[in-house]
Amino acid sequence: MGLIDNLEKYAQHQNLSKDKRVMFDSFIKKGFPTTSDEEWKYTSLKKVVKSDYNLLLEHTEIENSVINKYSLGVEDKIVFVDGNLVYSPEIKGVHISGFSDFDCRNNDVISKLNSALAKSGFTIVVEKNTVVENPIEILFFNLTKNSFSQYRNRITVGENSEIKIIENIQDLSKSSTLVNHFTHVSCNKNTKVEYNKIQNNCKDSTLIDCMNIFQKQDSVCEVNTLIFGGDFTRNNLNFEQNGTNCESNMNGISLLDGNQFADNHTFVDHKTAHCRSNEMYKGIYLGKSKGVFNGKIMVRQDAQKIDAFQSNNNLLLSDNSTIDSKPQLEIYADDVKCSHGCTIGQLDNEALFYMRSRGVGISEAKAVLTYAFASEVIENLSIPELKNLSQRLLAHKLGVDLDFSL
Amino acid sequence: MLKIKNLKAGIEEVQILKGINLEVKAGEVHAIMGPNGSGKSTLSAVIAGKEDYEVEDGSVDFLGEDLMDLDPEERAHKGVFLSFQYPVEIPGISVSNFIKTSLAEKRKALGLDPLPAKDLLKMMREKMELLSIKKGYLSRNMNEGFSGGEKKRNEIFQMAMLEPKLSILDETDSGLDIDALRIVANGVNKLRTKDNATIVITHYQRLLEHIVPDFVHVLHEGRIIKSGGKELALELEKRGYDWITKN
Ligand SMILES: Nc1ncnc2c1ncn2[C@@H]1O[C@H](COP(=O)(O)OP(=O)(O)O)[C@@H](O)[C@H]1O
Ligand SMILES: [Mg+2]
């Protein structure tokens, strides 16, 4: 069997429209990407493709106490259980509903698979001139064993509006699961959008995430990707700037141990002049974990006066962990400021001794220095609950009982 | 308090300390002077537990315990403190977070609960006042972008917070201007009690005018070649090291 067979069987029983059929067929024809595909060179889906997944999700109910256990504790929550939208808050100026279909231009097979078959997801429309005060947490729970779930989400933020979102995917099925998550964000003129992904799923979960962000003039959009859990994670994050004075910010933490794998693929498409992008990804690798970073910045011919900054810093805390990091700059305009840097290192022994000489034990000293390494990203998180959770997860994963919030 | 006997230590087959003998009692101040490269910082690092150095022979007894069996953090818990000649910059950790963690870990090792936030802040404020440290400094990253003098003052601030039994000040005076030197030296003097001891490593008589030593030792090529009272420092200032090292 395997995933392709599961999918073909499943698709036969779906009443796919002609367009979707075409899309699905083109997916079947190409199959999942392999490591001979440049974009998947270091990221093997072999194990995922070989597994059998359940595409028919159960209809389960979930107790509030379970929701609260996994929630960050913010007031406004959107909750999905096995693909069903079971709860959404009432917020003035914000319209929240379930799945509504939309096209996308993504040409990769996994996005096509999502386009063809996804039937779950959220739609958020923020009216013009609306500042949403409180962050919204979107929780996706899965209880179906060995499920393959696909979500297709859309956010449209009206002119002069602001919103902050936290995405939190949690598998409760105690089995190997796969999620194909696709999110489309439209940031209209003069909007401020912050999207946070807390990727702390259980250790048998696989996530393939794709996020497309379209920005109009004077918009600022920030995406924070915080990877602590999961077995295998691939994040595709694509920004497209379509107006002057746009700012695209993306920050990431990957803290992996055991056999965890995480790949961050980012792409910033500077199409218009007088825009900025800032990118800061920090990876911390323990055990036999493996990280991949691929950051592409494209500055098109008309996009003059661009300020693009990218950094990918990595800390290898074990001999068996690895990182493959690749910056890709394609610049066709002549008046741009573009910088990128990649570092791979270990903890500084002098600093370790310094801390130990002050009475801090070796594990705690390592944890403090690791936190120091990650702090630029964590301290930048604007939602206190999220910052706090990240600090706790970092301490927990490094096996220390330290409070980094001061 | 501290008894060093025939201490020989080095790095990668090269012997740097070639048989050091030194006894420091509670309440005393010892000065160690000596030309560059004589092994002063090596001696401090070996006492503090830096693992790069290999101890080949001899013993270091601290309050009845063999220090060489202990990890650096355990030595700190017992009351050893080293003010680094070159304090390390740690971007991403604030001074207050660093000190809070150090103090909490030391207290934990001693079986004490962490100080309540209020008491900790009060203590920090008192010690900052003692060393004329300005507000706003606590939220700066540990030693990052600090001037030489600020780094040294930060070392003494940590010493004041951790209240060690034995403090080794490795060239704390370098980088300090005259006013700062006076403030820091005053701070060190105020922290002195009959139960703690200080080893001051310096090149210059200048610091010893403020922190008056009971004993002065001259370290040369890994050995203490002369010891005396505070007048020895004056003599060294006048005559240099040659008159001793030549014999
Ligand atoms: N980590 C080290 N690696 C190699 N040589 C060292 C190291 N530390 C000290 N030394 C050598 O040991 C000698 C003593 O150095 P040090 O203790 O720093 O002297 P001082 O502090 O008296 O100036 C010098 O010759 C120095 O080069
Ligand atoms: Mg020295």
In the 3-class helix/strand/coil scheme, how is chain B assigned residue by residue? CEEEEEEEEEECCEEEEEEEEEEECCCCEEEEECCCCCCHHHHHHHHHCCCCCEEEEEEEEECCEEHHHCCHHHHHHHCEEEECCCCCCEEEEEHHHHHHHHHHHHHHHCCCCCCCHHHHHHHHHHHHHHCCCCCCHHHCEECCCCCHHHHHHHHHHHHHHHCCCEEEEECCCCCCCHHHHHHHHHHHHHHCCCCCEEEEECCCHHHHHHCCCCEEEEEECCEEEEEECCHHHHHHHHHCCHHHHCC
CA distance A248 to A273: 13
pLDDT tens digits in sequence order for chain A, 406 residues long: 789 999 999 999 999 999 999 999 999 999 999 999 999 999 999 999 999 999 999 888 899 999 999 999 999 999 999 999 999 999 999 999 999 999 888 889 999 999 999 999 999 999 999 999 999 999 999 999 999 999 999 999 999 999 999 999 999 999 999 999 999 999 999 999 999 999 999 999 999 999 999 999 999 999 999 999 999 999 999 999 999 999 999 999 999 999 999 999 999 999 999 999 999 999 999 999 999 999 999 999 999 999 999 999 999 999 999 999 999 999 999 999 999 999 999 999 999 999 999 999 999 999 999 999 999 999 999 999 999 999 999 999 999 999 887 6
What spacing in Å lies between the alpha carbon of A368 and ligand 2's midpoint? 27
Indicate if A117 and A242 belong to the same structural domain. Answer: yes
For the record, the structure tokens of A101 come out as 């279909």
- First-to-final CA distance of chain B: 31
Indicate if A285 and A405 belong to the same structural domain. Answer: no
pLDDT computed for residue A406 by the predictor? 64
CA distance B150 to B246: 38
Indicate if A19 and A40 belong to the same structural domain. Answer: yes
**Hey, are the CB atoms on A353 and B75 less than 8 Å from each other?**
no
Indicate if A242 and A314 belong to the same structural domain. Answer: yes
Indicate if A156 and A176 belong to the same structural domain. Answer: yes
Nearest CA in chain A to B87: A354
List the one residue out of A169, A124, A177, A110 whose CA is nearest residue A149. A177
pLDDT computed for residue A171 by the predictor? 96
Q: Which residues contact A321 (CB under 8 A, 6 or more apart)?
A: A256, A285, A286, A287, A288, A289, A290, A291
CA distance A118 to B209: 80
- Kindly state if the Cβ of B196 falls inside 6 Å of ligand 1: no
Indicate if A264 and A402 belong to the same structural domain. Answer: no
* Structural domains counted in chain A: 2
Indicate if A358 and A347 belong to the same structural domain. Answer: yes
Atom 12, ligand 1: residue with shortest CA distance? B16
B71 touching chain A per CB within 8 A: yes
Domains and CATH numbers, chain B: 2-245 (3.40.50.300)
Residue whose CB lies within 8 A of the most ligand 1 atoms, among B15, B18, B42, B220, for a mutation test: B42
Q: Which residues contact B211 (CB under 8 A, 6 or more apart)?
A: B29, B185, B188, B189, B198, B200
| A209 beta partners | A181, A235
Indicate if A298 and A376 belong to the same structural domain. Answer: no
- What does the H/E/C string look like for chain A? CCHHHHHHHHHHCCCCCHHHHHHHHHHHHHCCCCCCCHHHCCCCCHHHHHCCCECCCCCCCCCHHHHHHHCCCCCEEEEEECCEEEECCCECCEEEECCCCCCCCCCCHHHHHHHHHCCECCEEEECCCCECCCCEEEEEEECCCCEEEEEEEEEEECCCCEEEEEEEEEECCCCCEEEEEEEEEEECCCCEEEEEEEECCCCCEEEEEEEEEEECCCCEEEEEEEECCCCEEEEEEEEEECCCCCEEEEEEEEEECCCCEEEEEEEEEECCCCCEEEEEEEEEECCCCEEEEEEEEEECCCCCCEEEEEEEEEEECCCCCEEEEEEEEEECCCCEEEEEEEEEECCCHHHHHHHHCCCCCHHHHHHHHHHHHHHHHHCCCCCHHHHHHHHHHHHHHCCCCCCCCC
Q: What's the whole-number mean pLDDT along residues B9-22?
A: 95
For chain B, what percent of residues have pLDDT higher than 70? 100
A237 φ, ψ (degrees, to nearest 5): -125, 115
Cβ proximity of A127 and A156 under 8 Å:
no
Indicate if A251 and A380 belong to the same structural domain. Answer: no
Of B72, B87, B90, the CB nearest to A369: B90
**B247: confidence class by pLDDT, cuts 50, 70, 90:** low
Closest ligand 1 atom to residue B44 Cα is 17
pLDDT computed for residue B135 by the predictor? 85
Count of pairs with CB atoms under 8 A, one residue in A, one in B: 80
Indicate if A292 and A348 belong to the same structural domain. Answer: yes
Indicate if A109 and A173 belong to the same structural domain. Answer: yes
Indicate if A102 and A135 belong to the same structural domain. Answer: yes
B209 touching chain A per CB within 8 A: no
Angle at which helix B95-109 crosses helix B117-130, to 10 degrees, equals 120
pLDDT computed for residue A106 by the predictor? 87
**Domain range spanning residue A213?**
3-363
pTM: 0.93
For the record, the structure tokens of A75 come out as 């007031």
Q: What is the CA radius of gyration of chain A?
A: 21
Residues in A touching B50 (Cβ below 8 Å): 353
CA distance A225 to A198: 6
User: Does B227 have pLDDT greater than 80?
Assistant: yes
**Hey, are the CB atoms on B73 and A365 less than 8 Å from each other?**
yes
Strands A322-331 and A290-299: parallel
Residues 310-349 in A contacting B (C-alpha not used; CB under 8 Å):
348
Of B51, B75, B91, the CB nearest to A372: B91
Region of residue A51 (phi > 0: left; psi between -120 and 50: alpha; otherwise: beta): beta
User: Does B41 have pLDDT greater than 90?
Assistant: yes
A402 touching chain B per CB within 8 A: yes
